[in-house]
Structures are given as C-alpha cells and as structure tokens.
Amino acid sequence: MELQIIEGNHIELRKVFTGVTFRTEDDGTLDVCMRDTGFEIRYNRTWYELKNGAFNKMRKNVVLGELREVIGLALSHCDSNDSIIHGKLGLKLRNVLKDFDQL
C-alpha cells in the first residue's frame, strides 16, 4: 500500500488490495477494497461494485455461489477420504450449505 498526502491535505492511497473500514461513532461502516479494475464497497452490510463507470449492487447470490463452490470442493475431498475427522468436517460443511439455503 502506498500513502501520499497531496495538495490541500488530501490523502491518496494506492494499491490497496486489502479492505479498509471507515467507522462512525454510532457504528456506521463503509468498507472499501480496490480490485484490478474498479472497487468493491460495503455500506452498512450491503456490497456494491464500482467498475467501468457503473455502480451496481452486488447480488448476495454471487457471493454465496462462490462460497458454495469452495464448500463443494471441500466436501468432495471429505467424501473421498474415509476417516472420522473428514466425516465430521463433511457433516459441518453440509450444515453450512443448509444455512445458506435459508438466506
């Protein structure tokens, strides 16, 4: 991350690929994360994407879909290994997927 203070006491950050959170005294939040092309921001628990001049609300299903994919890969690994530990992990992962269905 690079930090510069430019004319008029303005702070400029560059290459901020990890999230930054701004928090008000009454716990309002704004999270900002730079991407290769654009930004992702979260304002009070709702995610938005700013890319190519457009400002779009990110669909919860996109994020959940990515998580489902990762959990599915982990479940495949658990199912292919016959051990108590993998069996317990697989059960927990299946419960997480059920919780996603209720969102």
**72: confidence class by pLDDT, cuts 50, 70, 90:** confident
From the list 22, 25, 69, the residue with the least C-alpha distance to 41 is: 22
Shared-domain flag, residues 97 and 72: yes
The tokens of 70 are what? 């990762």
Is the predicted pLDDT of residue 103 greater than 60, yes or no? no
Shared-domain flag, residues 48 and 88: no
Shared-domain flag, residues 50 and 78: no
Domains of the chain: total: 2
Shared-domain flag, residues 22 and 50: yes
Q: Kindly report, residue by residue over 29-67, the tens digit of the pLDDT.
A: 898 988 888 898 888 778 888 998 888 888 665 566 667
**1: confidence class by pLDDT, cuts 50, 70, 90:** low
Shared-domain flag, residues 40 and 83: no
E strands in 17-98? 20-23, 29-35, 38-43, 46-51, 54-57
Shared-domain flag, residues 27 and 12: yes
* Whole-prediction pTM: 0.50
Shared-domain flag, residues 15 and 45: yes
Mean pLDDT of the chain: 77
DSSP-derived secondary structure letter, 59: P
Range of the domain at 21: 2-57
